[in-house]
Structure 1
Amino acid sequence: MTSRIDQILARIDALHDELEIEIARRRETFRYRLEQGRVKFEADARARNARAKIGLAAFLARANPWHIATAPFIYALIVPFALLDLFVSVYQAVCFRAYGIPRVRRGDHIRIDRHHLGYLNGMQKLNCVYCGYCNGLLSYVSEIASRTEAFWCPIKHAARVKAPHARYAQFLDYGDADGFQNGLEASREALKKD
């Protein structure tokens, strides 16, 4: 017998699948496909993208001065992001192996592909590489953290959590003292099968 939570999660999975199908349809609209993880634009789409490109000089001339002034603050974050990447990757390599938790693949989270878009100038491409790395890194770290939480403390919080990770719905109910020990072991076993 499936629980109400399992039914809701199945509907969410179905909606994710539906979303992926719609995104695939849009690929056809914009005339590109993925071949072995690489983007391939059709010739007419490449030409259309090149015509839509705004040159770097025009881009900078139209830029909001505040955007330019704050750019160093944005790009300075590369240092803590790179350190986070290093430390979390080492943590996962050591601890997940010790706990028997399947490791998270960086490539499933960090996608750097927007620099292939012909309608972006060099500055825009650099910005896209940076954002792809940083947001992908946060997704990677979040997945590692969710697996860690599922292993050590799979308990829901008393108050609502905005945008919790995918495993959260399967966590044990807050205050369920009787179900905690068995639920903890079940959570660990389920995690090892991921």
Structure 2
Amino acid sequence: MDSRIDEIVAQMKTLENELMDELKKKEDEFFYTLEDKKVKFEESVVKEGRAKIVSSIKYLSSFPVLVILTIPFIWSMMIPALIADIFVTIYQAVCFPIFKIPKVKRKDYIIIDRYNLFYLDRVEKINCWYCEYFNGVIGYTREIAARSEQFWCPIKHSKPQIDMHSRYNKFFHFGDYETYRQELEKRRSNFKDLECEV
């Protein structure tokens, strides 16, 4: 592995940790705390937020008719999301122990919590549920695919990607056949950085 690349990846991880620290500071700013993994808002904030809820009809009527007509198309995408969720969960349950790849924790990606937000009407809560589930499934699936790719074909692309997955920095450079042949077995089982997550 190139030491400069390792250095940049370490800097990125440090920045991600700093970002998480800053996001945690928002708990105080928005008057909530986490108790037993449940969000607790100050009562005065809840009352004020509930007083400002718009009705679902008013919320929906704020959109053009064409936007409303897209709703069946949006919700039809839930079918492939559910199928993907089921199949990738089965895939990793069967294959990852055989490949000796650490399993991806579904709960780290599919986080359903916005329905508790007191300032959303019913339609907004349903929309949030859809987005957090759908995007969670995509992230969960991507991480399973990334770990699988590291095991089977850890080679970078010839062109830069807009968004690299979490395992990409472990991959061989495109065209580096010597290192690929020398280190393939070692790289395909190099999940030591995930051991602290277990």
Normalising by structure 2, report the TM-score.
Answer: 0.93
Q: Per the alignment, in what secondary structure is the counterpart of residue 40 of structure 2?
A: strand
Which residue matches 1:60? 60
Q: Per the alignment, in what secondary structure is the counterpart of residue 101 of structure 2?
A: coil
Residue 106 of structure 1 contacts residue 140 of structure 1 at CA under 8 Å; is this kept in 2? yes
CA distance in 2, matches of 1:89, 1:47: 40
Per-residue deviation, residues 156-192 of structure 1 (Å, max 9, x unmatched): 0111111010211221111111111333222223126
Which residue matches 1:161? 161
Which residue matches 1:93? 93
Which residue matches 2:9? 9
Which residue matches 1:31? 31
Residue 102 of structure 1 contacts residue 192 of structure 1 at CA under 8 Å; is this kept in 2? no
Which residue matches 2:140? 140
Per-residue deviation, residues 74-98 of structure 1 (Å, max 9, x unmatched): 0011111111111111111111111
Normalising by structure 1, report the TM-score.
Answer: 0.95
CA distance in 2, matches of 1:183, 1:163: 25
Letter in 2 for 1:86: I
1:81 and 2:88 are equivalent in the alignment:
no
**Displacement after TM superposition at 1:141 (Å):** 0.1
CA distance in 1, matches of 2:155, 2:181: 11
CA distance in 2, matches of 1:36, 1:173: 44
Q: In the TM superposition, what are the counterparts of 1:168-183 in structure 2 within 5 Å? A: 168-183=168-183
Residue 150 of structure 1 contacts residue 191 of structure 1 at CA under 8 Å; is this kept in 2? no
Q: Per the alignment, in what secondary structure is the counterpart of residue 10 of structure 2?
A: helix
**Displacement after TM superposition at 1:48 (Å):** 2.1
Per-residue deviation, residues 95-120 of structure 1 (Å, max 9, x unmatched): 11111111111100001101111110
Q: Per the alignment, in what secondary structure is the counterpart of residue 190 of structure 1?
A: coil
- The RMSD of aligned alpha carbons is 1.6
CA distance in 1, matches of 2:25, 2:137: 27
CA distance in 2, matches of 1:44, 1:183: 60
Gaps of 5+ in 2: none
Runs of 4+ in 1 over 6 A off after TM superposition: none
CA distance in 1, matches of 2:110, 2:178: 40
CA distance in 2, matches of 1:22, 1:65: 40
CA distance in 2, matches of 1:68, 1:136: 24
- Report sequence identity in percent: 40
Residue 155 of structure 2 contacts residue 174 of structure 2 at CA under 8 Å; is this kept in 1? yes
